[in-house]
Amino acid sequence: MPTAPPLPDPPAPDPAFPAGADACPVHWPRAIILVDMNAFFASVEQRDRPEWRGRPVAITNGRQGTCVITCSYEARAFGVRTGMRLPQARRLCPDLIQCPARPERYAEVSTAIMEALAAISPDIEVFSVDEAFLDVTRCQRLLGSPAAIARLARRRVFEASGVLCSVGVSGDRTTAKFAAKQDKPDGFTVIPPWEAAARLHAVPVTELCGVAEGIGAFLARHGVHTCGEMARLPIGVLARRFGNPGRRIWYMAQGRDPEKVRTGVAPPQSVGHGKVVPPDTRDRAVLLTYLLHMSEKVGARLRRHGLAAREFFIGLRVRGGWEGARLRTAMPTDDGHQIAALCREVLGRHWDGAGVHQVQVTALDPVPARAQLELFADEAPGHPEINGVMDAVNRRFGQFALAPARLLERSAMPDVIAPAWKPFGHRRSV
């Protein structure tokens, strides 16, 4: 029988925090760990293909994809970056290995990682497919210091996935995330809460998670360029301009981010799927196939989570931006055929024939599918029995094993994992 490929070397002990010592015996009033996977998609591919380890790998959306989704650290050493076009990446790194993305595999590995971390602390927030916050404040008496728990988290991640991660530890979310970025890949950085303000003092405010260029420009106009300069700015200035998020930024810059680790998933405000189409597509039949594909994905996802929606956004991205419309059905629906009918209406009434680069179908404000109907409302249209059978077949044999005939011509480009992916609830989608 074939043997499993050998694992990469396990995480090395950090010299500053030897395994036999408790690096910080003081009980922290609040302890947050951020676990950040190293070049996650590329690391999974190198884990599954031992011959690629130590070599430059670029992940693209399918073999036809021309944009680098992410790349290994060996490729980054040549200047290859996420978002770079493949031809430019090959000029920088002629030996670059192009690897089509396997989103289902990445979701599988991520799920295993998050389950391993949840066994350490139930107070876990899956921040993205390759990041998670752990609040280990209540675990210190059982598991030791925050640094010791962080070392445990690194080992558990490696045991669950065979890939390495970087870890940041501090007394608040923002500082922990900043710490995790300091020594990648395979980093381990601890910033005790009483040192956070000093460690952030000279850091540009725009390096903090959530402080985008617009907020950075506003702060610069008020003389705030580094975190240390934030204390000179009255908190009310930020509060008047940005409300509660502004107040949070004021505390973030001083290592006192009050935001808690969010363990649940908020009810969905929308459920949508989009896909890139061949550049400058003007063929109506091709667009109908792509829109039907997205309609069926949205419908199946709504049904999987017991949701339905009455209003939908159907979008077509052209050179000048988005064209499309918000349309409503007579009753809340989870039926892909009804959603596709709205797509045909958008093509007929709102598309002027311009070249399309991307399509988007989004259910807005979904509600529980079995909500109370109006007293004299007609029965909701659709095909619930057919959809139920189709969903059962596809759960057993794979997505779109049973689907409308037109989808035989659907794009071969793999689906992508949304930035807000989570291993549970309505965010678990590819």
Exposed, middle or buried by CB within 10 Å (0-12, 13-18, 19+), for 307? buried
Neighbour count for residue 327 (Cβ, 10 Å): 18
Strands 68-71 and 307-318: unpaired
By annotation, the residues acting in catalysis are 131
| Cα torsion 241, 246, 251, 255: sign | negative
DSSP state for residue 51 in the 8-state scheme = G
Say which residues have a Cβ less than 8 Å from residue 222's Cβ, sequence separation at least 6: 233, 237
| Cα torsion 133, 138, 144, 147: sign | positive
Secondary structure of residue 206 in the 3-state scheme: helix
Rg over alpha carbons for the chain, rounded to the nearest Å, is: 24
Count how many Cα atoms sit within 13 Å of the Cα of residue 354 in the half-sphere of its side chain. 17
Structure tokens at 378: 């007609």
CB 24 within 8 A of CB 147: yes
Vertex 7 angle, CA 2 and 9, to 5°: 155
